Amino acid sequence: NYAFWGTQPVAQFGEQPGTSDADGAIDKPKDVADVRPEPYGLPQNFEWVTCNIDNDDELREIYELLSAHYVEDDDNMFRFAYSKEFLRWALQPPGFKAVWHCGVRVSTTGKLVAFISGIPATVRVNASTLTTVEINFLCVHKKLRHKRLAPVLIKEITRRVNLHNIWQAVYTAGVLLPKPVSECQYWHRSLNPKKLISIGFSRLAQRMTMARTLKLYKLPDQPQTPGIRQMEDRDVPQVTALLADYLQKFQIAPVLDEEEVRHWLSFQPDVVHSYVVEGPDGTLTDLLSFYTLPSSIIGNDQYDSLKAAYMFYTVPGATPLPQLMNDALILAHSTGHDVFNALDIFDNQKILKELKFGIGDGKLRYYLFNWRVAHEIPTNKVGLVML
């Protein structure tokens, strides 16, 4: 029973299968002129604010809200701790709009207590190329939970997006809502097993000593693939083509032009790490990338932060995927990451076990707003990564 989501243009549970055998919009086409011109009402003493990420103080306010109130694991041991540099990268891709960085303040004190964001993205779903926004960083201060503020934030961002003649959105969440396009699972590969065990992220396996565990997860210092190096600006045209060609084989994937590839894949230490494999003739044959998303460790007195690498866009060309991913592990380890996380999307299912990933608990669901797919998309046909 979804009091809010039941009213929204999203696929619903228990819809007659076969009602529609084709992908398509759920709402009838609408006009920008018919979009509500005024913001949705907020409770007394709250007001809307457009956050200006270019202003360090405003960026810090978002950072602080998310640091204290954003996503935690089911056992409330860890909370995502996106860095300010990361937030800037995530919220300001080409064509970003400040009005889609939407906050709520307490009128009397000015304190930022809620946030939701959208960024422009072209996403292909099966044969349809959709102009969408990716919605992320929905967050309500812990003291204001369960007051139905989230639906107001979602309606307001929808209004602000619709005013730009955009009617579809993509988002991911751990929670089950009507109705996932795909349900994926995180896998984790220990890079620093001693710390992971000490903070309770993982446990010593049965009949394993610490010494054997360290040996099991030990990695070389240097990547093994000849010709692998950090991605540079001059690589952007070739990487754009390489990635576009690879993403064809997935049922949901972004469509990225050169400017977007430059934004999403330019190497930024501890934000996004991108590497290419250059063949002897100078042609780029492979791409690997991961992003850095630390989590704060709640109530541990030895460590306060866990540094995690998350697989981003990786294209195996001349290099087999297991070898490329092993280099990703090596590069993440040598840059101080404690764990490497990957979803069972792309072709990952085939290789996670041999690379000593273990399955996580909890799922990540992919959703589309105002777009129905005739059939759920299998995880190995998902080619989209959201931050």
Q: Which is nearer to Mg ion, 123 or 149 (CB)?
A: 149
**Catalytic positions:** 387
| CA–CA distance, 266 with 233 (Å, rounded to integer) | 7
Assess 275 for contact with ligand YNC (CB under 6 A): no
Q: Which is nearer to ligand YNC, 70 or 291 (CB)?
A: 70
Stretch that binds ligand YNC, among 37-45, 87-95, 150-158, 343-351 (CB under 6 A): 150-158
The pairing of beta strand 168-173 with beta strand 128-140:
parallel
Q: Which of residues 154, 247, 311, 329 is near ligand YNC by CB under 6 A? A: 154
Assess 99 for contact with ligand YNC (CB under 6 A): no
Assess 146 for contact with ligand YNC (CB under 6 A): yes
3-class state of residue 132 by DSSP: strand
Assess 136 for contact with ligand YNC (CB under 6 A): yes
Q: Which of residues 46, 48, 63, 70 is near ligand YNC by CB under 6 A? A: 70
The listed partner (ligand YNC, Mg ion, none) that binds 2, CB under 5 to 8 Å by sort, is ligand YNC
Binding site for Mg ion (CB under 5 A): 140, 147, 149
Q: Which is nearer to ligand YNC, 59 or 236 (CB)?
A: 59
Rounded to a whole number of angstroms, the minimum distance from the CB of residue 11 to ligand YNC is 13
**186: which residues sit within 8 A by CB, 6+ positions away?**
341, 342, 343, 359, 360, 362, 364
Q: What is the sign of the dihedral through the CA atoms of 301, 303, 305 and 311?
A: negative
The listed partner (Mg ion, ligand YNC, none) that binds 53, CB under 5 to 8 Å by sort, is none
**311: which residues sit within 8 A by CB, 6+ positions away?**
289, 290, 325, 328, 340, 341, 342, 343, 348, 385
Assess 40 for contact with ligand YNC (CB under 6 A): no
Rounded to a whole number of angstroms, the minimum distance from the CB of residue 374 to ligand YNC is 21
Q: Which of residues 46, 48, 89, 171 is near ligand YNC by CB under 6 A? A: 171
Stretch that binds ligand YNC, among 164-172, 291-299, 302-310, 317-325 (CB under 6 A): 164-172
**121: which residues sit within 8 A by CB, 6+ positions away?**
93, 132, 133, 134, 170, 254
Q: Which is nearer to ligand YNC, 121 or 140 (CB)?
A: 140
Tokens in use for 356? 């000593």
Q: Which of residues 11, 112, 139, 384 is near ligand YNC by CB under 6 A? A: 139
| CA–CA distance, 90 with 118 (Å, rounded to integer) | 10
Assess 135 for contact with ligand YNC (CB under 6 A): yes
CB 353 within 8 A of CB 317: no
Assess 28 for contact with ligand YNC (CB under 6 A): no
| CA–CA distance, 338 with 384 (Å, rounded to integer) | 24
Tokens in use for 195? 């710390």
The C-alpha R_g of the chain, in whole angstroms, comes to 21
Ramachandran angles phi, psi of 29, nearest 5°? -55, 140
The pairing of beta strand 339-343 with beta strand 272-278:
unpaired
Closest CA to 3 of 111, 148, 120, 104: 148
Assess 5 for contact with ligand YNC (CB under 6 A): yes
The listed partner (Mg ion, ligand YNC, none) that binds 332, CB under 5 to 8 Å by sort, is none
Q: Which of residues 11, 104, 112, 166 is near ligand YNC by CB under 6 A? A: 166
The listed partner (ligand YNC, Mg ion, none) that binds 151, CB under 5 to 8 Å by sort, is ligand YNC
The pairing of beta strand 339-343 with beta strand 305-311:
parallel
Placement of tokens 């990635």 in the chain: 243
Tokens in use for 206? 């049965």
Residues 338-377, interacting with ligand YNC (CB under 6 A):
369
Q: Which is nearer to ligand YNC, 154 or 199 (CB)?
A: 154
| CA–CA distance, 313 with 223 (Å, rounded to integer) | 18
Catalog residues that contact ligand YNC under the rule CB under 6 A: 2-5, 69-71, 133, 135-140, 145-151, 154, 157-158, 161-162, 166-169, 171, 173, 175, 177, 369
